[in-house]
Amino acid sequence: MIMRLLYLCLVALVTFMTMGKAQADRLKDMTSIAGVRSNQLVGYGLVVGLPGTGDGSSTLTLQSMKALISQLGMNTSSILDLNGKNSAAVIVTSELPAFAKPGQRIDVTVSTLGQSKSLRGGTLLMTPLLGADGETYAVAQGNLLVGGLGVEGNDGSSLIVNIPTVGRVPGGGTVERLIETTFLETDNVVLNLHQGDFSITNQVAEAINDIFGGGVAVPLDARSVRVRAPLDPSQRVSFVSMLENIEIQPERTSAKVVVNARTGTIVIGGDVRVTPAAVTHGSLTVRVDENRDVTQTNNVAVTDGVAVTAPGAAVTTANTDITIAEEPARAFIFDPGVNLSTIVEAINGVGASPADLVAILEALREAGSLRAELVVI
């Protein structure tokens, strides 16, 4: 009874201290608990029941079909007309959540491994899912849900909508083995920030100590905070639930500009600043057109005083035309301490494309005017 009253008092204290904080973030949205993680599973399986969109005469698929039939007690030595047009070799992947118990269901993803054009209408046969240690932790089986569609005509024409070679089996995996965690094995709980930052780590430790008392939380580095926690399992779960709901107003992170060079996507953080700089950006287009002129020559021969003209060899003459077009260079000036909105307005004002914007940002960084980290992914 006393422990319950103490727990209710702590919950009320956490609620009171986190009320009224504008734009505050919960610790559960900013951190993860060390040792509490999901695990990746993978397996090799066979999908059957396809409407002629399977692997066909693929050696891998035929070998898998023979092995499966043999396991079911049939003799495969006499089977000569085995065909895999309705079957496909697949890779099955899934994610085993933390604390998943045997008998619980998990979703699985099925992807083609061979020449199958579509998995629509197929059924995944029983497939063991292995962990990184090679042990079986789940078994998958079930009918596939495929969002894509693929159609191919006899003349070679085809139409593909989305991705028909990947499907899912919701709840198609059954957990067979429990993965032990270190959640209850130590005296402390370690919170790991999703984004490492010394200021935010210190803020998290101070917020926890303000509620539970000094010395309960200790920042370890830019990403981790060690928190002293109860040893009793039920008390530790309650303690962690209160930790997760503590809210803080995180400090601003370091200024960054993230550029995806493949897609042209550019994300500029709100704290990006530019020192005084003048930028001139133009575009130069060089076009080379090469044509070949063919001229028929004539051969003139004189026979008995009479000139006779006969067709001669064809002569090819290269005709190259080079055109250079340069758009007028546009210039703009950044004043001291220019913020994000001014940068965007100035660059959009000159009609710069994403590729031009990348070039401008790289030039500003090389000139030392960009007060931010430029990350190219």
pLDDT in tens, 243-279: 999 998 887 777 888 887 677 777 877 777 777 777 6
Domain that holds residue 67: 39-175
In a domain, 295, yes or no: no
Work out the widest C-alpha separation in the chain, in whole angstroms: 135
Residue showing tokens 């409407």: 51
Query: End of a domain among 195, 228, 248?
Result: 248
> Do 56 and 97 sit in the same domain of this protein?
yes
Q: Are residues 266 and 344 in the same domain?
A: yes
Please tell me the predicted confidence (pLDDT) of residue 257.
Answer: 83
Q: Kindly state whether residue 318 falls inside one of the protein's structural domains.
A: no
User: Do both 28 and 49 map to the same domain?
Assistant: no
Whether residues 78 and 25 fall in one domain: no
Q: How far apart are CA 164 and CA 117, in angstroms?
A: 7
| Residue numbers in the chain where pLDDT is lower than 70 | 1-23, 148-161, 261, 279-341, 343-344, 346-354
For 344, the 3-state DSSP assignment is helix
The reported pLDDT for the residue numbered 72 is 85
Domain end, chosen from 124, 142, 175, is at 175
Question: Strands 158-161, 87-96: parallel, antiparallel or unpaired by DSSP?
Answer: unpaired
Tell me: do 75 and 197 sit in the same domain. Answer: no
Please check whether residues 233 and 263 belong to one and the same domain: no
Query: Are 159 and 216 found together in one domain?
Result: no
Is 27 part of any domain? yes
Please name the residue that has the structure tokens 């070799």: 89
Query: What pLDDT does residue 276 have?
Result: 73
In a domain, 274, yes or no: yes
Whether 244 and 260 share a structural domain: no
Are 144 and 223 contained in the same domain?
A: no
Residues 125 and 24 in one domain: no
* pTM of the full structure: 0.68
**For the domain that residue 233 is a member of, what is the CATH number?**
3.30.1360
300's tokens: 């003139």
Helix (H) or strand (E) holding 120: none
- Tell whether 135 and 212 lie within a shared domain: no
Give the end of a domain, one of 204, 229, 248. 248
Please state the domain count of the chain.
Answer: 3
Compute CA 91 distance to the chain's CA centroid, rounded to the nearest angstrom.
19
Q: What is the structure's pLDDT at 1?
A: 47
List pLDDT tens digits, range 287-306.
555 566 666 666 666 666 66
Q: Using CA atoms, how far apart are residues 349 and 359, in angstroms rounded to an integer?
A: 16
Residues 67 and 148 in one domain: yes
